[in-house]
Amino acid sequence: YPPYEFSCEPGTRVTINNAPHDWVNYFKCGYKGAVDAIDCALPEGMQCLMDGSVPSSAGLSSSSAFVCCAALATMKVNGRLLSKRDVVATAVASERYIGTNGGGMDQTTSIMSQSQSAVFIEFDPKLEITPVKFPSTTPPIAFVIANTLVVSDKAVTAPVCYNLRVVETRIGALILAKHLGIADRPACKDVDPLTFKIVMDEYFTGSENASSVDSVQTWIDRLSAMLTAADQAFGAHPTGYTREEMATALDMSPADLGAKVHEDLFPVRADRFQLLQRAQHAFSEALRVVRFRQICESGDARTDYFSALGDLMNQSQDSCRDLFECSCAEIDELCAIARNAGSFGSRLTGAGWGGCTVHLVPQDKVDEFMAIIREQFYAKHVPGMDEEALSDALFVTTPGNGAAFYTFE
CA-based nearest residue to 52, from 63, 41, 43: 63
CA-based nearest residue to 341, from 320, 362, 356, 322: 362
CA-based nearest residue to 121, from 135, 132, 133: 132
**Residue 255 φ then ψ, to 5°:** -65, -40
- Degrees to nearest 5, angle at CA 313 with 311 and 318: 95
Which amino acid makes up residue 68?
Answer: C
Q: From its phi and psi, is residue 262 left (phi > 0), alpha (psi between -120 and 50) or beta?
A: left
Catalytic residues: 106
Coil, strand, or helix at residue 307? Answer: helix
Secondary structure element (H or E) that encloses residue 363, with its range: none
Strand ranges inside 155-297, DSSP E: none
Distance CA 58, CA 355 (A): 4
Decide: 163 and 268 in contact? Cβ < 8 Å: yes
Using only the alpha carbons of the chain, give its radius of gyration.
Answer: 22
Strands 345-348 and 117-122: unpaired
Distance CA 224, CA 234 (A): 16
